[in-house]
Amino acid sequence: METPLPFGWKPLHIDRYDGTTDLDEHIDLYLTQVNLYTNENVILCRVFPTSLKGSTLAWYTQLPTRSVDSFNTLVRRFTAQYATSRPHHITSAALAGLRQGDDEPLRTFMERFAGISVKIRNLNPEAALHSMLMTLKPGPFVDSLCRRPPPNMDELRGRAAGYIQMEEHAEFRKAIREKPQGKQDQGQATDI
């Protein structure tokens, strides 16, 4: 007897995989959507081909009968087949070459650092924290981190938020002070 789809099942809202893009991202998107309804192995396997197209769908339909006993087996075979579609992954060495620019706001640097570190698979939290401490430009924020080192990245981000707010407020005040006083000059006559 075939296992029915869960009540309320709706078609997946993901691009169907054709073998040319990141297969890990496809699997993550697939699982995220299907797990809204179920995490049953049978359903995961049954619905998976609906997320494929072209040569990947042809590959799936040519799998020998009863050669897939679980979703993990299917994923293992799928990733072996399309391993060359994986993009080159960034390593923690990418953080070593990162530096906050002299004129770069803390917010911009934190976003840049986060954008790179999130792409590093299995990044050790201690390595991320050490890299962050080594790449920040000298200043009040770094001084505070040296006086009281953060135990983890979450605390560092929380403390950075306060310094970002102070930095942006100082920039705002500076812009207000430097703004030309146009209304005062309008009453003066000019020689033509």
User: What pLDDT does 84 receive?
Assistant: 81
Nearest to residue 43, comparing CAs of 12, 4, 96?
Answer: 4
- DSSP symbol at 17: B
User: What pLDDT does 183 receive?
Assistant: 52
Cβ atoms of 111 and 102 within 8 Å: the answer is: no
pLDDT band at 91 (very low <50, low <70, confident <90, very high): confident
Q: How far apart are CA 100 and CA 102, in angstroms?
A: 7
Cβ atoms of 120 and 90 within 8 Å: the answer is: yes
Task: State what percent of residues in the chain have pLDDT above 70.
Answer: 92
Choose the weakest-confidence range: 4-8, 67-71, 111-115.
Answer: 4-8
- DSSP symbol at 100: -
pLDDT band at 191 (very low <50, low <70, confident <90, very high): low
Domains of the chain and any CATH numbers: 23-85 (no CATH), 93-178 (1.10.1200)
Is the per-residue pLDDT at 2 higher than 80? no
The amino acid present at 99, given as its one-letter code, is R
Assign 14 to helix, strand or coil.
coil
Q: How far apart are CA 58 and CA 16, in angstroms?
A: 13
User: What pLDDT does 150 receive?
Assistant: 93
DSSP 85-115: GSPPPB-THHHHT----TT--HHHHHHHHHH
Q: What is the pTM of this model?
A: 0.56
